[in-house]
Amino acid sequence: MVSRIVAVLNGPNLNLLGMREPEIYGRETLADVEADCRRLGAELGLAIEFRQSNREYEIIDWIHEARGRAAGIVINPAAFTHTSVAIRDALGAFEGPIIEVHISNVHKREEFRHHSYVSGVASGVIVGCGTEGYGLALRRVATLIGARSG
């Protein structure tokens, strides 16, 4: 059977979601986002592996781990979006769909947030839809990997 695993990976400071700059990122915590992803994942027949790290190498290791095992990746690389060639290269070696998510509209914010190293290897990018962006990303992965094969 083809894998229905989707790795949902979150970068630095997202452990503080709901507490840091709520006017930008909202009041939902990362645990709330994880619960929403698991609920929707069950509906879509996806096995969600939800993770967060403040360490670049750990995110890279998780992307490597997803190779040949996960059907897709949803990633909010947070600040590493704007700095990490290493995360981009790791994602470039992943075979399945990759959806990049940003909770805030990075294009409305400081100039240094306008460039993403990740977008060039992503299948799609969801920006500025709040934490709802994760659900939109999961739906897109489900579309791209196709219907449940039973």
Given the rule CB under 6 A, which residues bind ligand DQA?
13, 76, 78-79, 81, 102-104, 106, 113
Q: How far is the CB of 129 from ligand DQA (least distance, A)?
A: 10
Going by C-alpha positions, the residue among 117, 44, 49, 106 that lies closest to residue 80 is: 117
Locus of tokens 């039973």: 150
Q: Which H, E and C letters describe 8-40, residue by residue?
A: EEECCCHHHCCCCCHHHHCCCCHHHHHHHHHHH
Q: How far is the CB of 5 from ligand DQA (least distance, A)?
A: 23
Can 115 be counted among the known catalytic residues?
no
Q: Cβ(101)–Cβ(126) under 8 Å?
A: yes
Q: How far is the CB of 112 from ligand DQA (least distance, A)?
A: 8
Residue closer to ligand DQA, measured from CB, 3 or 54: 54
Residue closer to ligand DQA, measured from CB, 81 or 84: 81
Other CB atoms within 10 Å distance of the CB of residue 103? 23
Residue closer to ligand DQA, measured from CB, 73 or 145: 73
Distance from C-alpha of 69 to C-alpha of 65, rounded to nearest angstrom = 7
Catalytic residue from among 25, 107, 114, 117: 25
Can 134 be counted among the known catalytic residues?
no
Which residues are the active-site residues?
25, 102
